[in-house]
Structure 1
Amino acid sequence: MRLSQDAKLLLSTLIVIVAAVAASWVALGKARHFILKKEGRYTAVHWAQYLENNLRGLDGLLSAGLITNEDRMTFDFATATGNVLNYQILDERGAVAFSSWSGDFRLSIPTDHVQAAIRNDKSYTELIEYEGGESRPRLVAEAYVPIESTAGYKGAVNVKIDLTERAVELERRSMFAFLGLLGFVTLISTFCGALVWRNIRNRQWAEDLQNSRSVVLEQLATGMPLKQVLLTLVQSVERLKPDTVCSILLLDESGTRFKDGVSPSLPEFFRNSINGVQIGHGVGSCGTAAYTRELVIVSDVLTHPYWAGIRDLVARTGLRACWSLPVISSDDEVLGTIALYYREPREPTDAELEFFRTISHLVGIAVEQRRFQARIAHLAHYDTLTGLPNRRKLQARLQQYVSEARIANGTMALAILDIDKFKTINDTYGHPVGDSVIREAARRIAACVREDDIVGRLGGDELAIVFRKVSDVREIAEVSDRIAEAVRLPMYIDGKSIATSSSIGVSCFPQHASDSDELFIKADHALYQAKQSGRATCEIYDEELHELIREKQILERDAALGIQKDEFSLVYQPQIDLKSGALIGLEALARWEHPVLGQVPPNKFIPIAETSPIIIELGERLLRQACTQAARWRQGGLTNVKIAVNVAARQFKDPLFVEKIKNILEQTDLKPCALELEITETMLIDDFDVVEKTLGELNALGTSVSIDDFGTGYSSLLYLSKLPFQNLKIDRSFVHNLPSDSNSVAIVTSIIAMARQLNLSVIAEGIETCEQAEFLRMNECVGGQGYLFAQPMDALQLETWLRDDFVNTFHGRLGAMNGQMEAARVASLKHSELRSA
């Protein structure tokens, strides 16, 4: 079984403690033994000296073994005055010359050792324990001490000394010393154990906190509701610190009141009292923290002035301490507060404050991430100018209402509306006024419809109304009349009185269409008929509009023939680096020269082609034409410029699409890195696995991919983070109102920031003014294209533009943004004139 790191640490500490105690005990025993031997030797030496000084017959004793009675009395006196039990006199050979007791006496050490001790004048001492009838064994020290008579005779004294009482005393002292040492070791081990336990506890806290962080981030990634994420965080805090009651409060849209509290352990009556409270200095711990943007520590809520207004209420909760910390976003905005409550007065430690700040940071991440996602989701489904549902949202709701009507055998309708002569308003008063007209018209139209009806913006000045239930056509007529009258009233904008009108086209389910797509088509036909009828009117779809459908069918047929007759060609619009002014790309745009109709507008034939199988052949021909021209330009020295080609959904779904790209690149001798394919967002949601596979193959080939018209389709962060794109193109509808429109500014800056985080390059379409270009450049948009730089041109026109007009057209306008490059150009011209003169 493998032990954990903590278990190993505890086991090692225990082993060290036991070893230290055992070693101490052994050391004390050896010290006691050493002391006893030393004291026995010391007593024997002194006794031997006494004998040397007092035995007159010592010479005879050592030489002939003679001793007198007087000498014996001296011996007896010596043994009676000390702890000497008995003694022996040894001659120089180690033989016993005299013994104080009768009977055989065996030396404890060999005779040759005694002889060596006598010769070398050394003493030997041994401790001998005798078992007896006493309660305690008798401890005796047997010492051999060399002696020498006055006549020069040598010998030794073997003395037995009783050390039992001394041993008991030393043992008692040793025990006291051991107990003291044991207490000291216990104290040290307790301290070390506390450090070990604290280390284990801190590591467990860190691990649990990291696990909680991972759970929160996983819940955020999987789209878990914010309240559930915050609840998980609160429960983690209360699990890590069981004596803590945690509470999270968020601020409302105004940033002045609390809402959406997550505090499951607080009593319901207390939670209800906090909800909706306005923040301010002295408004409890949380209200003060949110207002002052600082940590607020209240060690006792029953005595602190911040809690004076609700002291009785908080007393009912049993809580005494409250620490509150503001949750602040990366944009330095206060999002709410997190509070820790305790049931006894106390202040936080440094470790608790660090833990508190970590949890607050996690709360900030969760709230900010959800707000960002909500903002992106809102931008994806709602129009930024009017706040109405956008085309995608409207289509989803229309499909829902069609399904409901089909199940109930009921009727519903769709109306498409646009503002008459809106282009004239834009041209006369400017785009900001035009935007205000759209906002005001949308407000008036929304006020005219019924409660169940939905108003949305399709784009530009075109809006739509979904009638959820229609019992009679007269209901639609009544609503249409109210709308017409409301829009007809003058609009006072920026001190100007602007008059306009509206045209409306209506189609009904199931009378005119069998599904939502057909409803859109036929409502659009009806709108066209309303405009043809002189505008400011409402037309309901009629079969007579079939001619318009037939016209489109004819165009589709003519387009198929035009492909075979090479009636389609390409023009190229430059893409400019907004910082350096370098040409970084060319977008290839399709044009159709009809033999009878002349130039057919792209917005007329491209939607028809994209819904038809002919788009595959047309797309392949145009792609080959673009690659051929790009290869020719690269051979002529235009090596750092990519050619961007739009790809329709049908093309992209073609199983042979990547193989066709590869063949065209090989046949035209164009490097894959010189080609960029532009696809729309709506392609991403059809079949994610197929899209991911195709994009992966294109990336492996070396061809880059760009998302065209970004922001108008299904902007999913999941797709952007997982699919291999290289570029985003901001749709011209967002660029159009820059930099005056705050909504457009918010969208564009969000897109650029998001792209930067995803390492994507950004190009803005439809740049028409220097102010737009400067705004995009200052916000780190990489590139741009639009009429500010150049309009689409055929190959020859583009080559002329590059040769003659590029510097004057672009660099001059770029310089006009800050005045520097324009001044330099003027100075250069004046210098040339002076030189000519």
Structure 2
Amino acid sequence: MAESPRILVVDDESTIRLLIREVLEQRGFQVLEAEDGPGALKVFDEGKPDLVLLDVFMPGLDGFQVCRHLRARPGADTIPIIIITGTEDYDAIRRAYEAGATDFIGKPINWIILGERVRYMLRASAAVRQLAQNREFLARAQALARLGSFEFRPGKATLDVSPEFCEICGLSCPGSEVDWEDVIGVIHPDDWKALEPLVEQACTAGICFRQDIRLVTGNGIRRYAMLQVDAETDADGAVARVTGIIQDITERKLAELLEADSNRILQLIVQKEPLERIFREVARLLERQLPLAMGVVCLVADDKVVSVTAPGAEQGFSEAVSGTALSAESGTHAAAAYLGQPVVAPEVFSSTFWRRARHVARAFRIRSSAAVPVYSGTGQILGAVSMVFREEYQISGADLALMEKTANLVALAVEQHQLSQRLIHQARHDPLTGLVNRAALNHWLERVLKERARHPSLGAYMLIDLDRFKHINDSLGHHVGDLMLKQVADRLRQVVRDSDLLCRMGGDEFVLILDRLRDKNDAARAASRILEHVGRPFHVEGHELHVGASIGITLFPDDAVDTTTLHKNADIAMYVAKNQGGNRYHFFDGRMHEAVIQRLQVENDLRKALERNEFQLHYQPQVDLTDNRVVAMEALIRWNHPERGRIPPDRFISIAEECRLIIPIGRWVLQEACRQAKLWQDQGLDPIRVAVNVSAVQFTETDFAETVRQVLQETGLEARWLEVEITETVVMKDQEVVRSNLKKLKDLGVFTTLDDFGTGYSSITYLRQMPLDGIKIDKSFIRDLETAAPSDESKNAGLVKAFVNLAANLHLSLVAEGIETEDQRRFLLQLGCSRGQGFLFNPPVPAEEATALLRSKG
């Protein structure tokens, strides 16, 4: 079993070496490592790697110096050295090639294709080494080559020649003489034009020369020969005799041509020239090596020939062969690809390999043929390389070896092309869903917009954002989320027409471009179909999942004529649809723009507010309704904007939640409230609980309880003096996470309360299941309470009485919010509620005023 190729990785960053090792070992390579230049030279000498990956910038010897040292080592001239450098660092790339680098890889490294790039360079290097071995072989053959001799006297019509001369030239020489005309007849006409004046100078002036020529023998076979001519002069200095030798250098010349042609083809492959051009050069290479042959390159797919390149063939040949089903009887090209082995047909019309294709052989006068399969590096048959002859020809082992060498070139070209196509596809498509990505969308849309500028018609840019997807992704994991996104993409494909473009922008966002609409109603109908398709249940790994979609639609050219503005408009419209509850579509109109700009400004300012210490906590007391004694303080956030003054919470909390800034803001509130509560205790005031409202976004973080524990530890406040308030929407959002966090808080000793009770949809069952300590009656139920006795059974009075009884039955504390009048206070006492807060007692005030309040009413 062949040993795996050894790759030397030289980089001073251990992380890069580790990542490269993981990628290459997964693909079957052995990996050697060195962290600097001297180490690289030592490992190179000891490990004998097959390829070197070399970083440019290293301490001590840099990559360029190391490359030069490596190239100076014996036998290292053909080992590929790939320099790792910045993609845009053209100076480093130039210096790398000057130092002897074979190729370069840009940073950041594309880990997906690194292994394929290394494998490609190893195959190309093997081809170059094979050519070098051929040169050595041919040098030995030249030393053993036969030599023919000749001589003639100026003005004489014949030459005296040796038998070897006649054999080399393909002449019939009964004696030792041959006519000049016969010799001239076997020299290629173009070569004789160059040779004739040299012969004339040798005869007249005694000038010696050496010249390579082409010989065309009677059977059409081309040979190459080297002439070495000397002249002898008499006593008067006149040329008396011309002598010379002729050497058959056909093998050397063909090898030189093969090397030159192969190198040129390799260069075309590296330059990513079209496959058709590369295949034409491969076919011509075969024809230069065997002038009687016609070179053919075929590609196959789906069990048939799909591409034929034969530059030397008559018109119609490619069309006659293309589309042929692969079989052992449809010509040697099809048989080689079908059987996966070389096939030879010395006599086409008696060969079973041509049984079903003899009409092709007759039409194009094919008498003999041979073909070899083209294999990829993974063993897949890509096609076949074939030679066909119009005369019967005995195919030799050397001919098959030549075709196999050209088949390797074809395989390299195809694999390079496939790699390029994969890279292009990866660059333009989303790997999860297979849909086009943002870059491809922008490119396609720009072309459409230019076309619509010349030929106006209506189009729509539709931004689709899934509702509730994040909840699924967070609760069931990214694997389930990814599977669901693939199903969403499949359903969206059912809506699009051939003229439309569907794109995944990333995350749970998709874009659909509708072209050539009759009116905006076409876009509305498409959006409705999307909502219908996405709204049906999804079944993923045993889960039945439900999502919706918020769709923003903008029209072109009516709303905009450039991709950036179209996306911005659709994003604004989608935002409006989502704010209206989601699972709907909304068309863009210009009035939305200003509102969204204001929202973005608030978001940007929020990001700076924490750093600039613009937030402040105010405190509102909770009191005992019987004696107005302060029993707790609720911390309420205020934003003091440097330009716009005091911004109320209802103007920024929802925005902070949407952009998840509420998490760092909420932690600050917890920290500051606990710090203040501990400060009050340190100042000698009676300990009281401080209540903090926690957003649903923050509370449903799985590490929320740990955050609370850290804050308590940092501030030194005992857990029993902290109260965490959550709303009913939190309870309904993610019950498992909420229940888990409530239990963890209870284990810590933190008091937990359900805020704004009665405004949501929580049931008694949920209250029983959730480990809560108290509830707060929403102020909307308190507002209309009057001094009437509880027996009056007004609507709000009845509800408040029910809340009081519920709290008592569930052993929960009860606080009434929004008490503004003395009548409301007395009525609540009559109903059985003994704690409350509101402007009757005190509005929210800064910490300094709250401190004074505690001193007076604590």
Instruction: Report the TM-score range of the alignment, normalised by the length of the smaller protein.
Output: 0.3 to 0.5
| Structure that is richer in helix per residue | 1
Q: Determine which structure has more spread, i.e. the larger CA radius of gyration.
A: 1
Higher relative contact order (CA 8 A, sep 6+): 1
